[in-house]
C-alpha cells in the first residue's frame, strides 16, 4: 500500500530525473508527475545536452562537484550499456577554446571528464583567433530521446503522469510532498523574482563528417556533433522572452560557426529552434514548508539550472531525493502509515 503521496511538477530533464529517483528509491510513495508541457515541447528537448557547462557562483564547489560527478557517472553507465541508443547518450570529444586565457584554467569538472588537458600550440593553430584551449572527452545526452526513455522508466517504477498547468501550489494540497521542477515556470508558480529567461537559438545541420565538438569559452558559439545531426549555436540573450526564430541570429550563428569550422558552410540546415534557459544566479535545490489549504506541506525545489541543466540533472535529482527522504522522516508517524 502506497502511503505517501508525492507530486512532481515539471516534465523536463529535471522533473523526470527527480521523479524517477523518487519512484525507484521510495516504493512506498505514490508519485504523480504533473506538467503543462511534455516532450517534445520542453526546453530540455532542444538542449544540445553536452556535459560541462554548469556553474552556480554562490554554491560550495564541493556540492557542485558532487552534482557533476553523480550525473557523469549516471550518463557514463548508460553510454556504456545496451540502453545507450534508446536513451540517446553518447561520449563526445572535442575542444573548448578561448580568445583570452581564462582566470580558471582548470574548472571544477575537469577531474571528472576524461583526459582533460590544455591544448598544444599545434592544435590551437587551426583556431587563429583563440589563444588557449582545453581538450577532453565528456558525455552528450539528447533529451528528445532521453525524456521518453525516462518516462518509460518512471512508469515502470509505478509513476503516473498528468498533463495540466498548475496555476497555484494551492491546487496541490491533496499531496503530502510537492516537488517543484518547473524551471522558468517557477517565476510565476512560486513567485521567484530571480528567475529570468536566457534565450538560446540553435540550428541542426547535416554534417556527418564532423566528429569533435568545438565550443568558444564565451558560451555563445558552439558546434556539437550528435547522433543524427550537428547542433550549431547559439545565442545567450538575457531577459529575452522571444520564442520565434530570429533570421539575424541564424545568419550570425552560421557565420560564427563557419569561422571555427569552415566546412560548415557546405552543411544543409535541417531545422532551427529557440529555447529559454531557466536563468537564475544559483540553482535552487532546497526545501521549505508552504501552507496549502491550511495544511503545512513540505515543498522541495529543484529548478533554475540555466544553461547547464542536463549536465547536473541526475546529481540535483539525487539531492532532491535526499530532501524528500528528510521530509518523510520528519512526518508524524500516522501520516506514513
Ligand atoms: C539553446 C540551448 C542549448 C542548451 N544546451 C545545453 C547543453 O548543452 N548542456 C546542458 O547541460 N544544458 C543545456 N541547456 C540548458 C537546459 O536545456 C536546461 O538547463 C534544462 O532543460 C532545464 O530543465 P528543466 O526541466 O528545469 O526545464 P524545462 O525543460 O523547461 O521543463 C520545465 C517543465 O515544467 C513545466 N512547467 C512549468 N511551469 C508549470 C506550471 N505552472 N504547471 C505545470 N507545469 C509547469 C513545463 O511545462 C515543463 O514540463 C541548453 C538550453 C538551451 C535553450
pLDDT at 336: 58
Candidate of 38, 89, 182 to mutate for ligand 1, largest count of ligand atoms within 8 Å of Cβ: 182
For ligand 1, say whether the CB of 316 is within 6 Å of any of its atoms: no
pLDDT at 104: 86
Q: Which three cell numbers stand for residue 301?
A: 525545489
- State which ligand 1 atom lies nearest to the alpha carbon of 14: 25
Q: What is the pLDDT of residue 1?
A: 56
Is ligand 1 within 6 A of the CB of residue 50? yes
Atom 52 of ligand 1, residue of closest alpha carbon: 47
Helix, strand, or coil (residue 11): coil
Q: Which residues pair with 96 in a beta bridge?
A: 134, 215
Q: Which atom of ligand 1 is nearest to the CA of 309?
A: 19
**From atom 3 of ligand 1, which residue's Cα is the shortest distance away?**
47
141, three cell numbers: 545526452
Quick one: pLDDT at residue 295?
93
**CA-CA distance, 331 to 329, in Å (whole number)?**
6
Per-residue pLDDT 10s for the chain (337 aa) are: 568 999 999 999 999 999 999 999 999 999 999 999 999 999 999 999 999 877 899 999 999 999 999 999 999 999 999 999 999 999 999 999 999 999 888 999 999 999 999 999 999 999 999 999 999 999 999 999 999 999 999 999 999 999 999 999 999 999 999 999 999 999 999 999 999 999 999 999 999 999 999 999 999 999 999 999 999 999 999 999 999 999 999 999 999 999 999 999 999 999 999 999 999 999 999 999 999 999 999 999 999 999 999 999 999 999 999 999 999 999 876 565 5
Distances (CA, A) of 7 to 146, 261, 268: 21, 46, 43
| 264 contacts: CB under 8 Å, gap ≥ 6 | 205, 207, 210, 223, 230, 232, 254, 257, 258
Length of the chain measured in residues: 337
SS (H, E, C) 13-71: HHHHHHHHHHHHHCCCEEEEEEECCCCCCCHHHHCCCECCCCCCCCCCHHHHHHHHHHH
Spatial distance between the Cα atoms of 92 and 225, rounded to a whole number of angstroms: 8
Q: Which residue's C-alpha comes closest to atom 20 of ligand 1?
A: 309
Is ligand 1 within 6 A of the CB of residue 197?
Answer: no
Q: Is the CB of 189 under 6 A from ligand 1?
A: yes
Determine the pLDDT at residue 105: 85
Distance CA 235, CA 225 (A): 18
* Residue 139: how many other CB atoms lie within 10 Å: 23
End-to-end CA distance of the chain: 9
Binding site, annotated residues: 43-44, 166, 222, 277, 306-311
DSSP bridge partners of 33: 8, 161
**Which domains occur in the chain, in start order?**
4-95+140-195+281-336 (3.40.50.720)
The three three-digit cell numbers of residue 202, written as one number: 540553435
Cα–Cα distances (Å) from 133 to 41, 47, 83, 218, 253, in that order, read 35, 23, 33, 12, 21
Amino acid at each position: 500500500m502506497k502511503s505517501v503521496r508525492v507530486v512532481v511538477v515539471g516534465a523536463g530533464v529535471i522533473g523526470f530525473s527527480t521523479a524517477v529517483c523518487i519512484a525507484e528509491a521510495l516504493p512506498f510513495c505514490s508519485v504523480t508527475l504533473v506538467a503543462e508541457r511534455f516532450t517534445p515541447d520542453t526546453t530540455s528537448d532542444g538542449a544540445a545536452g553536452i556535459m560541462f557547462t554548469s556553474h552556480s557562483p554562490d554554491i560550495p564547489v564541493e556540492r557542485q562537484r558532487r552534482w557533476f560527478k553523480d550525473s557523469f557517472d549516471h550518463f557514463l553507465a548508460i553510454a556504456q550499456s545496451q540502453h545507450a541508443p534508446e536513451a540517446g547518450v553518447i561520449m563526445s570529444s572535442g575542444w573548448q577554446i578561448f580568445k583570452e586565457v581564462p582566470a580558471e584554467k582548470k574548472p571544477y569538472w575537469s577531474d571528472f571528464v576524461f583526459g582533460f588537458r590544455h591544448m598544444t600550440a599545434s592544435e590551437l593553430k587551426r583556431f587563429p583567433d583563440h589563444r588557449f584551449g582545453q581538450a577532453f572527452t565528456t558525455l552528450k545526452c539528447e533529451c528528445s530521446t532521453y525524456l521518453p526513455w525516462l518516462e518509460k522508466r518512471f512508469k515502470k517504477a509505478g509513476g503516473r503522469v498528468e498533463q495540466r498547468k498548475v496555476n497555484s501550489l494551492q491546487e496541490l494540497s491533496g499531496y503530502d510532498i510537492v516537488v517543484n521542477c518547473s524551471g522558468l515556470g517557477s517565476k510565476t508558480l512560486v513567485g521567484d523574482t530571480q528567475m529570468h529567461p536566457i534565450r538560446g537559438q540553435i540550428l541542426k545541420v547535416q554534417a556527418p563528417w564532423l566528429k569533435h565538438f568545438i565550443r568558444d569559452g564565451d558560451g555563445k558559439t558552439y558546434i556539437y556533433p550528435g547522433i543524427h545531426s550537428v547542433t550549431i549555436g547559439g545565442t545567450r540573450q538575457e531577459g529575452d522572452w522571444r520564442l520565434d526564430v530570429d533570421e539575424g541570429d541564424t545568419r550570425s550563428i552560421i557565420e560564427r560557426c563557419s569561422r571555427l569550422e569552415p566546412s560548415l558552410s557546405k552543411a544543409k540546415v535541417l531545422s532551427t529552434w529557440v529555447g529559454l534557459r531557466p536563468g537564475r544566479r544559483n540553482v535552487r535545490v532546497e526545501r521549505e514548508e508552504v501552507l496549502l489549504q491550511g495544511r503545512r506541506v513540505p515543498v522541495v525545489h529543484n529548478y533554475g539550472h540555466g544553461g547547464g541543466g542536463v549536465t547536473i540533472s541526475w546529481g540535483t535529482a539525487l539531492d532532491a531525493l535526499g530532501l524528500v527522504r528528510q521530509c518523510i522522516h520528519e512526518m508524524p508517524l500516522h501520516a506514513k502509515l
